[in-house]
Structure 1
Amino acid sequence: MPRILAIDYGAKRTGLAVTDPLGMIATPLEVIPSHTLENFLKDYFEKEDVYRVVIGMPKNTDGSPTNATPLVQAFINRFKKVFPSRELILHDERFTSKMAMDAMITGGMKKKDRRNKGNVDKVSATIILQSYLESIL
């Protein structure tokens, strides 16, 4: 069964998460430099059956765009050109970094590992994906 992939896009790093083959459980996949994301996705789509991509859309608490919104929108535009047949879903990513940090603390992750921003990005992507999965149930 095809998977769903989530992207937490950032200026430097991008966190990725993916569902299990049944599309029920979100798990962290990878953190990669953002400039390599397009090539990573090409390779990943060749290896794995992904039918939907969910990207976290940054918004302020009032729903207005953030400073990061234009960066994410530029990536979305490139994604649509490079992968026109892939279904792309925009999903609210408000507070995911805070929730990721809280989850890492609750899970007992050491402070040294929590300082690694890549870990936050990966967990944030997982939270975006899990939130999306819950929204479609």
Structure 2
Amino acid sequence: MTSTPPSSPTGHRAPARPLRAMGVDYGTRRVGLALSDPTGTLATPLTTLVRRHGKRAPVGRIVELARRHDVDRFVLGLPLHPQEGENTWTAEARKFGRRLRDRSGLPVHFIDESYSSAEAEARIRFVGAKRAKREDKARIDAGAAAIILQDWLDARALDAPADRDGGGAA
């Protein structure tokens, strides 16, 4: 006898196998990170790592955090131009995704991150958060990572193709 996975409060089917994903908003100055809950239903901001000028992204630190939180996959936002699609920065993000995959041994899923930072900033401003400018930027990047991850989780729950860019997992 097989059992059906329970539904979430929104009425969507829960994933058959629990997952713990880490969302990544990859940027030139900061890398925002978010985590899913153990059921793979809800994404929450985790932290933002600052990239030192002229230095590579902190892949080792990201992998360390992923291990600490029992992450089994990454979801990386791809910066796609609304009219032109992929660009130089998209290629850089894909390269970063391959480095993350190679270093961690975990799959990396790509998803269009269009407007995730603007949406995160709007949400922070809506709740009236007032902090130092640098702290705001870090909160925005972690919030953008949560939005990227939540989009992927929602698409997965609906059995829709989560990798909207067609790139699949790295």
Answer whether TM exceeds 0.5 for this pair. Answer: yes
CA distance in 1, matches of 2:57, 2:115: 25
Structure 2 runs not aligned, ≥5 long: 1-17, 158-170
Residue 128 of structure 1 is matched in structure 2 by 148
Amino acid at match of 1:99: E
Q: Secondary structure at the match of 1:127?
A: helix
* C-alpha RMSD of matched pairs (Å): 2.1
Q: Could you tell me how far 1:45 is from its partner in structure 2?
A: 3.3
- Structure scoring higher RCO (CA < 8 A, sep ≥ 6) equals 1
Rg comparison, structure with higher value: 2
Normalized per residue, which structure has more strand?
A: 1
Give the TM-score of the pair, scaled to structure 2: 0.71
Normalized per residue, which structure has more helix?
A: 1
Structure 1 runs not aligned, ≥5 long: none
The change in CA–CA distance for 1:29 and 1:115 in structure 2 (over 3 A counts) is closer
The change in CA–CA distance for 1:107 and 1:72 in structure 2 (over 3 A counts) is same
Q: 2:72 aligned with 1:47, yes or no?
A: no
Q: Any idea what the Cα deviations from partners look like across 1:36-89, whole Å, max 9, x if unmatched?
A: 521212322332221121000010112512442132122122123222x31211
Identity of aligned residues (%): 29
Q: 2:42 aligned with 1:22, yes or no?
A: no
Give the TM-score of the pair, scaled to structure 1: 0.86
Q: 2:122 aligned with 1:102, yes or no?
A: yes
- Is the CA contact 2:63–2:100 (under 8 Å) kept in the aligned structure 1? no
Q: Secondary structure at the match of 2:86?
A: coil
